[in-house]
Amino acid sequence: MKILVVGASGTLGSAVVAELSKRHDVISASRSGDVKVDVKDAASIKAMFAEVGKVDAIVFTAGKAHFGPLSAMTPELMDVGIKDKLMGQVNLVLTGTEYLNDGGSFTLVSGILATEPIKAGTNASLVNGAIDSFVVAAAIELPRGIRINAVSATVFEEAMEHYGPFFRGFKPVPVADVALAFSRSVEGATTGKIFKVGYV
């Protein structure tokens, strides 16, 4: 398969590329990647697809949200996750559908905060929940046998130095295990599923 990975250079993206590139041709995209894209900008997503052309799978491993207390939250801070992690992925699907070959797939990324809240996590919970809902709804409307799933993981072992203080009591998972869920989505037959990794 020819697989486009958006966010390929990150902690998650590197693990997903390592897993999928064993068997497939992977195109790496990000703001500074082989293929350049800024997912906050719908025009940039369109330009990326015009450059890359048709693919068999589109995988998203980027996505930013704002971490901070609800008492200090502002509309602008809420927009951080909405414009980047949420609408970045929604716009990837809206534009990317016509660039997927028949029977192709989208694999999006959400996260455990959709249903397991932490302090300072409202922006991430908001967008993760919306992504999961978008996936189950889009799955019943996508044409030509195109599938869509999301991977929703707990905190990664590799990210504990940064996120550890937010996730006290959560058992981290190796990011390579999270990459296996992306493999199940891309190389399997399921659609409309949220692959949960490391929930306890």
Ligand X SMILES: NC(=O)c1ccc[n+]([C@@H]2O[C@H](COP(=O)([O-])OP(=O)(O)OC[C@H]3O[C@@H](n4cnc5c(N)ncnc54)[C@H](OP(=O)(O)O)[C@@H]3O)[C@@H](O)[C@H]2O)c1
Nearer Cβ to ligand X (31/144) = 31
Q: State yes or no: residue 31 binds ligand X (CB under 6 A).
A: yes
Q: State yes or no: residue 115 binds ligand X (CB under 6 A).
A: no
Q: Which two tokens stand for residue 103?
A: 């029977």
Alpha-carbon distance values, 22 to 1, 16, 136, 183, 190 (Å)? 11, 10, 29, 11, 21
Q: State yes or no: residue 9 binds ligand X (CB under 6 A).
A: yes
Q: Please pick, from the candidates 85, 87, 135, 185, the single residue that binds ligand X as defined by CB under 6 A.
A: 85
Nearer Cβ to ligand X (104/156) = 156
Q: Which 120-159 residues touch ligand X, going by CB under 6 A?
A: 153, 155-156, 159
Q: State yes or no: residue 5 binds ligand X (CB under 6 A).
A: no
CB of 108 to ligand X, least distance (A): 9
Q: Which helix (H) or strand (E) holds 151?
A: strand 147-153
Nearer Cβ to ligand X (62/148) = 62
- How far apart are the C-alpha atoms of 13 and 28, rounded to whole Å? 9
Alpha-carbon distance values, 199 to 113, 190, 196 (Å)? 10, 20, 7
Q: State yes or no: residue 166 binds ligand X (CB under 6 A).
A: no
Q: State yes or no: residue 11 binds ligand X (CB under 6 A).
A: yes
Which alpha helices (DSSP H) does the chain contain, by range? 11-20, 42-52, 75-81, 87-96, 122-139, 160-163, 175-187
Residues that bind ligand X (CB under 6 A): 7-13, 30-33, 37-40, 61-64, 84-85, 109, 111, 153, 155-156, 159, 163
